[in-house]
């Protein structure tokens, strides 16, 4: 929400912000915090039961819509605003891949890849829980280290000190993730976790899957859960082609002992943002955008600010 409201306010707009029905509290708290800092009605936050979005996108007094969410919903938003040609920014789903080359230090890299896949229980659009491609020469060693990390991870309430894996956010997503677990057991080899935990709440054990095909649901779809599949490759060009074989193009990462080699690989993948030897470094002065069906327009940076403006030309006779 802050990535949208900041640039919109700086450029002189008034805003109506609507969080997802399952995550309203932080948005409402933010509105409460800034209520005395802004003139009345400059920032408005409304919550709903998933029934107000279409009314907002079609409203004649709204000039621009900026939406973050799934690609399927983004297409509906785009269709809704088309009747009035509202300005539009979409930050949508991803199938983010990590490409791990054969020259990495596995002990050093594995925890970073694990965190990139498991942060917020995988419920991050840019998480690398979608696909990890590892060179065949290091494949089983990397899988073993990732499985070890999954085995020692602490799954609990995110507010408790020491917790490293938090719960799934809502029941609908929890049931969806359990479906991905079944796919993992059917089409791959589960080497850590593999089950929902029998306790109050929506907890999934951090799960590692290897020996799974590219056509499995767990590999092809955006899962939003702690179940990263690890796939093997022989040739880096094959890994690049498989990374690009998707309708998504949000982000990804390359892990290598040679930065120049990593940059060369990163330049060939069709993604909006590619990190080399790190993940989720997103300075507010650097634009963030998706390729293909992962989005339209930009957030952050000068480009993101310009999304909330309308350029005009005044041409006068002298």
Q: List residues with catalytic annotation.
A: 91, 125
- Round to whole Å and give the CA distance between 145 and 205: 16
Two structure tokens written together for 36: 């005395």
Two structure tokens written together for 86: 């509202």
Q: Whose CA is closest to 143, among 181, 180, 110, 104?
A: 110
- CB 272, CB 262: distance < 8 Å: no
Residues 6+ positions from 108 with CB-CB distance below 8 Å = none
- CB 262, CB 242: distance < 8 Å: no
What is the total residue count of the chain?
318
- Round to whole Å and give the CA distance between 102 and 84: 52
Angle at 168 between CA 74 and CA 151, to 5 degrees: 130
Q: Whose CA is closest to 94, among 259, 261, 308, 269?
A: 269
Q: Which helix (H) or strand (E) holds 26?
A: helix 25-34
Q: Spell 259-277 as b/e; 16+ CB within 10 A means b.
A: eeebeebbebbbbbbbbbb
């Amino acid at each position: 929400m802050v990535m949208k409201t900041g640039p919109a306010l700086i450029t002189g707009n008034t805003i109506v912000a609507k969080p997802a029905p399952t995550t309203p509290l932080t948005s409402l708290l933010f509105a409460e915090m800034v209520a005395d800092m802004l003139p009345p009605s400059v920032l408005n936050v409304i919550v709903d039961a998933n029934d107000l979005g279409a009314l907002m996108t079609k409203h004649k007094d709204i000039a621009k819509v900026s939406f973050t969410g799934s690609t399927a919903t983004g297409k509906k938003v785009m269709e809704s605003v088309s009747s009035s040609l509202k300005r539009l920014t979409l930050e949508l789903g991803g199938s983010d891949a990590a490409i791990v080359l054969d020259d990495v230090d596995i002990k050093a890299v594995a925890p970073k890849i694990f965190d990139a896949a498991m942060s917020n229980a995988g419920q991050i659009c840019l998480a690398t829980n979608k696909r990890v491609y590892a060179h065949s020469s290091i494949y089983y060693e990397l899988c073993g280290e990732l499985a070890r990390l999954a085995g020692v991870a602490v799954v609990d309430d995110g507010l408790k000190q020491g917790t490293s894996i938090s719960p799934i956010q809502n029941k609908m997503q929890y049931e969806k993730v359990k479906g991905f677990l079944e796919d993992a057991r059917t089409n791959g080899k589960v080497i850590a976790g593999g089950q929902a935990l029998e306790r109050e709440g929506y907890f999934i054990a951090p799960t590692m899957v290897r020996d799974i095909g590219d056509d499995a649901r767990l590999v092809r779809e955006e899962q939003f859960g702690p179940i990263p599949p690890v796939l093997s490759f022989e040739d880096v060009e094959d890994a690049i082609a498989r990374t690009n074989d998707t309708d998504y193009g949000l982000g990804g990462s390359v892990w290598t002992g040679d930065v120049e080699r990593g940059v060369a690989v990163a330049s060939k993948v069709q993604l909006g943002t590619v990190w080399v030897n790190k993940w989720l470094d997103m300075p507010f002065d650097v634009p963030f955008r998706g390729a293909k069906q992962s989005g339209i327009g930009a957030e952050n940076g000068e480009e993101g600010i310009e999304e909330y403006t309308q350029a005009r030309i005044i041409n006068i006779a002298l």
